[in-house]
Amino acid sequence: MDAVRSSTAAQSKQEYYGTDTGSKGRNGRMFVVTPSSNRIQMMLSSINNSFEQDTHDADANCDGPDLDFVYADVDGYQNEIAELYSYTEFVEFQMNVKAFEDQMELYDLPPNWQKQDAAAQRGIIMKLVDQLEVSDRRFRMQAARCILYLAQGCWAEVQSDEEQHQITRDNVLVLHQLGVFASFIDLLNMEIESACSPDIVAIKITNVTLVDSTDIRVILSVLYIITETIRDERDRGSEDYKELAESFVQEINAPLPDGELLAVKLLGMITRFCSGAAPQFPMKKVVLLLWKVSLLGLGGMDVLKNLKNEYRQKVGLEPITEDTLEVTKCMRASSPPATATDILENQYPRKNFKRSLMKQRFLDEPEQIDMEITGNEGQANANNGSGNGGNGSNGEEELSQYYRPYDDPSSSANSTTSTANPNNQPSLTQPPAAVPPVQITARLPWTPKVRQKDIDQFLDISRNKFIGYSLIGDHESLAGLPQPIHEGFKTLQRHMYLSLADVQIKKEEDIARNPISTHEDEIKLTPAEVLYQAILPNLPQYMIALLKVLLAASPTSKSKTESINIMADVLPKKMPLTATQSTKLTVDMGRHKEIIVKAVSAIILLYLKHFKINHVYQFEFMSQHLVFANCIPLVLKFFNQTITEYVNTKNSIPLLDFPSCVIGEQPDLSGDSFVYGGEMSDKPYSWRNVFSCINLLRILNKLIKWKHSRVMMLVVFKSAPILKKTLKVRHAMMQLYVLKLLKMQTKYLGRQWRKSNMKTMSAIYSKVRHRLNDDWAFGNDLESRPWDFQAEECTLRACVDRFNLRRYPEATQKCGNNGTAAQNAENAQQSNMMAGNNGCGNNGSDANGYGNNGSGNGGNNQHQQQQQLNDYGVEGGFPSDEILTHSDFAFFGHSGWWDRKVELTDYFKANYAVWLEEEVYNSQTDWDAL
């Protein structure tokens, strides 16, 4: 049997690579086959030894077609508006109509908005704006509901979704021109003050339901509809909205009359909610409004791309030609080729399926078991028809059955729609935009890059090897080196990439080294700069609050560990009594959580990307506080589920989405006529869930990239199996970011892991950008020394604190005074990493890991951390006198050291002139040596 297996495997290898040296493979590339028999035997031996691991590889067993998901800033306009409302808010739509009819009766006008001319409509809106300022809360909220009805498109007077959208578009234009947005901001301030007043805070609110947030939900809904409509019209390029969009962007980027940005005010609402001061705040509407305000004020992917190229050109760098989003559109999802062992199993199926011989981790994968069982039944006919598979003449045809054919989404859109909609129900969502067919090429998708640091390391190693000396600071000298080293150096220089962050870091180092002679550019008040200055004093609290909300909305979080109730704006006052109502509420709660995850992940990613372009140390400051707040284990915990089910889950009932739930004749949703969510959809996935997964993976990549200490956190939290399961989702962009995370930690996972996951290694090679001289597949990197990790993080934090203290001294001092929660979060993150060997499931399970984790080994961890800090000259939380003289720790961030009064001795005062003459004027200093 071993002989047959060896010969068949070798024959399969010849069919795939070609029999001659230098023959072409299936994808058109040239392969060189080494004819060494010992090497072939070693390869087959390793294949046989790791049979179970190979067959269990995640990328080989992912079924289903590629997802035709197109990543964008937002979903369609109708879907974004529909997600604003919960299904339990259905009854409040009628309250809006009733308020409008009563108000029109008060004005002696017919209750029909479309019958009024433009002048009458503007007059009605101006009267409603005046009524918003009355002291009687009931009349004030009645006017607010009337304006909400107008912003919703006067749906009681229309017969189609398109007509409702057009009326919303026209009304929003008039509403903003007449100052409705600013008036509702004032109403929002009043609601925040009343909710956080001492009288209300003293009464602990329990069992918060939908009724407790009625008024503030009306205000947030109006603000959201105006913001989202203006954003959509600006993206469409509407001429009548062009000037309005520009003025609106300036309005939301400017401080409010109380001095706060709107985004900062909404972040403050999230912080109050998480602290328990205002549990009635509707979190879904708050985070959705914060997301759209930030997206409109800062800009989306197109703005980011243009800003990056603009900033690079200003510092003398070439613009970026490769865009990740565009390149991934030309990729197909990974489906690695079958191994020789897999082919043998198909040709010689095992007759008996013995569960007792399966390893435990195979039993945890029902898909794998089903594949093994059905494989014996469905392969008999295939084997009969391919009895001549050993012949080389039809080897290509034989091997093709083990490869998944690529289904182009653009060419098979019609067939996908017909199979996903068996009942021929009308689609209630907007038709997807036509995607032009992309050309799938066989070459590597990315141009290789290399850093200056890698070139210096290459030269240093070459000099020590061939000549036996090193030149510190010399980046070009090739004297005495052989010709191949010269060619390698030229190749590295040709692919060298200098990032905008490298230029900014170099500038900061020059300022720290020569603070007087180095000229610092004027700080340009871009939207990202204004936002960073506004959130800097309380940024640690904002990051902790966002992650708390994200954790509470995570599908893997348990109710007993939730410290906050994000379901306050979903749960009705009376719980459902029938099975239909219970099902609707269950769907609504799942949908509610998905929308929150979508919005929070988009907010964090948007801030990270804009701060990184504006200045890298702004990005690093936010990143550090996210890491201190346990963002890394939180994201891993999110993916520690059956991610394919999460992507395919459709917690939606299309007939209850706005405006379908109020326009036209409404069907009875009781009994047999109840139609569950995704059955009327034409897509085999949930747009918001795929969007959330990609956002979280991108956040994780940004936090970890080039940070070896954080890469080790991935290893400690055992992220490799979790990330491998995520590869089952057949979407190229999602798989790219998963493979990037796996590539970062491959060198730390050991030889056995690499040996048993060669398909994943092959996918990394073919899809992730190559870094020349990057020894990512082996543990030979000089930067992988674990004792440098703490020094790396300490140095980075010192540089960030020095940057903040120099540019924003007042805000940094406030941030230091308010940093207790952040410091607790940092300690929790350190203790989590120390205890990470217990597995990610345990470390991330306590959502309140923001300050409470690791209490069991707190003494040992604290002692170790203090010892490490002492090693770097930090004693008792403050830098020692010796370390303050070091350039890397200057302006360490503890302003108390610089405010300390120093008493000079009488002897020094009496001899000051002599000291000045001898030590300063007559002293010759070699500044170059310093």
pLDDT tens digits along 385-440: 433 433 433 333 333 333 334 344 333 334 333 333 333 333 444 444 444 554 55
| Integer Cα distance of 799 and 889 in angstroms | 7
| Integer Cα distance of 851 and 629 in angstroms | 8
Q: Is the pLDDT of residue 267 over 80?
A: yes
Q: Is the pLDDT of residue 181 over 90?
A: yes
Task: State which H helix or E strand residue 875 sits in.
Answer: strand 874-875
Within 13 Å and on the Cβ side, how many CA atoms surround 233?
24
Over residues 328-342, the mean pLDDT reads 65
The conformation of residue 921, written as its DSSP 8-state character, comes to I
pLDDT reported for residue 444: 80
Q: φ, ψ for residue 450 (rounded to 5)? A: -150, 145
pLDDT reported for residue 16: 36
Give the model's confidence band at 369: pLDDT under 50 very low, under 70 low, under 90 confident, else very high: very low
Within 13 Å and on the Cβ side, how many CA atoms surround 171?
25
Over residues 503-524, the mean pLDDT reads 89
| Integer Cα distance of 150 and 156 in angstroms | 10
Q: Tokens 């047999």 appear where?
A: 672
List, for residues 127-168, the tens digit of each pLDDT value: 999 999 998 999 999 999 999 999 999 999 998 899 999 999
Chain centre to alpha carbon of residue 677: 26
Q: Tokens 């180092």 appear where?
A: 509
pLDDT reported for residue 910: 84
Choice between 173 and 929, residue whose per-residue pLDDT is larger: 173
Q: What is the mean pLDDT of the chain?
A: 76
Fold of 77-327+526-567+582-663+682-789: Leucine-rich Repeat Variant (1.25.10)
Residue ranges per structural domain of the chain: 77-327+526-567+582-663+682-789, 452-496
Identify whether the C-beta of residue 304 lies closer than 8 Å to the C-beta of residue 228: no
Over residues 860-876, the mean pLDDT reads 43
Give the model's confidence band at 924: pLDDT under 50 very low, under 70 low, under 90 confident, else very high: confident
The pTM score is 0.75
Q: Is the pLDDT of residue 214 over 80?
A: yes
The conformation of residue 496, written as its DSSP 8-state character, comes to B
Identify whether the C-beta of residue 822 lies closer than 8 Å to the C-beta of residue 628: yes
Q: Tokens 């940005």 appear where?
A: 261
Q: Is the pLDDT of residue 238 over 90?
A: no
pLDDT reported for residue 912: 85
Q: Is the pLDDT of residue 268 over 50?
A: yes
List, for residues 876-903, the tens digit of each pLDDT value: 333 333 333 333 333 333 333 444 567 7
Work out the angle between the directed axes of helices 118-131 and 137-151 (0-180°, nearest 10): 150
Bridge partners, 496 (sequence order): 450
Identify whether the C-beta of residue 216 lies closer than 8 Å to the C-beta of residue 188: yes
Give the model's confidence band at 91: pLDDT under 50 very low, under 70 low, under 90 confident, else very high: confident
List, for residues 708-731, the tens digit of each pLDDT value: 889 999 999 999 999 999 999 999
Identify whether the C-beta of residue 637 lies closer than 8 Å to the C-beta of residue 556: yes
Over residues 568-572, the mean pLDDT reads 86
Bridge partners, 450 (sequence order): 496
Q: Is the pLDDT of residue 22 over 80?
A: no
List, for residues 840-852, the tens digit of each pLDDT value: 444 333 433 333 3
Q: φ, ψ for residue 881 (rounded to 5)? A: -65, -35
The residue type at 713: M
pLDDT reported for residue 851: 38
Over residues 480-505, the mean pLDDT reads 92
The tokens describing 829, both together, are: 């993150």
Considering only CA atoms, give the Rg of the chain: 31
Give the model's confidence band at 442: pLDDT under 50 very low, under 70 low, under 90 confident, else very high: low
Question: Positive or negative, the Cα torsion across 285, 287, 292, 297?
Answer: positive
pLDDT reported for residue 700: 97
| Integer Cα distance of 298 and 285 in angstroms | 20
pLDDT reported for residue 378: 42
Query: What are the DSSP calls for 182-225, one per residue?
Result: HHHHHHHHHHHHHHTSHHHHHS---S--GGGGHHHHHHHHHHHH
Choice between 826 and 92, residue whose per-residue pLDDT is larger: 92
The tokens describing 28, both together, are: 């058109």
In the chain, pLDDT over 90 holds for what percent of residues?
44
Identify whether the C-beta of residue 271 lies closer than 8 Å to the C-beta of residue 545: yes
pLDDT reported for residue 344: 57
User: What is the four-CA torsion angle of 72, 77, 82, 84, rounded to 10 degrees?
Assistant: 70
List, for residues 782-800, the tens digit of each pLDDT value: 555 655 677 888 899 999 9
Over residues 43-62, the mean pLDDT reads 41
CA angle 878, 884, 886 (to 5 degrees): 135
